[in-house]
Amino acid sequence: MSDKRVFSGVQPTGNIHLGNYLGALKQFVALQDENDCIYCIVDMHSITVPQDPEELKNHILDVAALYLAVGLDPEKSIVFVQSEVSGHAELSWILTCNSYTGELSRMTQFKSKSRGQESAPTGLFTYPILMAADILLYDTDIVPVGNDQKQHIELCRDIALRVNHKYGEDTFVVPEGQYMKEGARIMALDDPTNKMSKSAENEMSRISLLDDEKKIKKAIMRATTDSDMTIRFDPENKPGISNLLTIYGALTGTPVAELETKFDGAGYGDLKKSLVTVVTESLAPIQDRFNQIRYSDELLDILRDGSKRAGEIAEPVLERVKDRFGLGI
């Protein structure tokens, strides 16, 4: 038992897709046997872009049910919704006062999400501070995430080190990011130079864990490839085919080199057809479990119990930090 504190979160901006699953959730499940894991549905992060209230509520419960459906066990891991524990917002303010506009303006996610807008929502700019608060509030050692979050994790570490230096070395535990070897960055099917994302406009750019066979087939068969006609892993020159091989390998546990041999001489259509079967078969048991859990009372009980347990861990950490800063009476 390595017994480290693990924390991570997913935004309820839509249904979890293969990128989230292969980059983040697979790690969540693997870590829970040997560590003290806390997994959050970060609803306050999702309102950095406008959300329909009714849809948001549904997405929160969808993501929670998907957490359980992919194998998170509430006996082993704490599963809860961010806005149910007020310490996230409180610590976020303290960290806001200890971060710089310069470092925040360098965040690539902010740059890409605010692109084209003359005046972007402030929350989009301070988003990484709330993320740092999520992590530091639980004395987290390890943060399993996809590659796209590397810059945010580094910023969280910088803030923690900065505060420790000023207010005492034991104010915050300084966390480390953890990334998958394969699957840390799954690319969009329609444009393999962009990452697969929940909020991309084109539905065919991603495969959600709840998609039916028809949609899976359509998205994969239409996936952008190249005109070279050889099935080879070469992300730079063949990003589309390399992405399909990565998904195939990660879902089946097959090394990509073995897939290259298996599909040697085959056409792109053969690889795609075979991948449709792999994806459909991998998602079927997850969808069955999702359907059992999503509308059950048990789901709400698990989330209520999760926020109670998370709150109990967060409270003394927040007290410690406030004390170091001289806040309160």
Binding site for ligand LTN (CB under 6 A): 7-9, 11, 42, 45, 131, 134-135, 143, 145, 149, 152
The dihedral built from the CA positions of residue 184, 108, 7 and 77, taken in this order, carries a sign that is: negative
* Closest chain position to ligand ATP (CB): 23
Locate 13 and state its tokens: 């901006």
State whether residue 37 is helix, strand or coil.
strand
Q: Which of 59, 88, 157, 195 binds ligand ATP (CB under 6 A)?
A: 195
Cα radius of gyration rounded to whole Å, the chain: 21
Q: Give the active site residue among 4, 57, 111, 198.
A: 198
- How many residues bind ligand ATP (CB under 6 A)? The answer is 19
- Determine the residue with CB nearest ligand LTN: 9
195 catalytic per annotation: yes
Binding partner at 182 among ligand LTN, ligand ATP, none, C-beta below 5 to 8 Å by kind: none
Residue 258 C-alpha from the chain's centroid = 28
Which of 195, 217, 238, 272 is an active site residue?
Answer: 195
Per CB under 6 A, the list member of 15, 32, 126, 149 interacting with ligand ATP is 149
Partner touching 141 among ligand ATP, ligand LTN, none, CB below 5 to 8 Å by kind: none
**Measured from the CB of residue 220, what is the shortest distance to ligand ATP in angstroms?**
16
Q: How far apart are CA 20 and CA 10, in angstroms?
A: 8
Q: Which is nearer to ligand ATP, 204 or 315 (CB)?
A: 204
- 4, 76, 113, 273: the catalytic one is 113
Q: What is the DSSP string of 250-319?
A: HHHT--HHHHHHHTTT--HHHHHHHHHHHHHHHHHHHHHHHHHHTTSHHHHHHHHHHHHHHHHHHHHHHH
Q: Is 322 a catalytic residue?
A: no
Which DSSP state fits 81? E
Active site (annotated) includes residue 272: no
Distance separating alpha carbons of residues 316 and 231, to the nearest angstrom: 54
Residues annotated as catalytic (active site), given as ranges:
113, 195, 198
The residues of the shown chain that bind ligand ATP, judged by CB under 6 A, are 10-11, 13, 19-20, 23-24, 145-146, 148-149, 184-186, 195-199
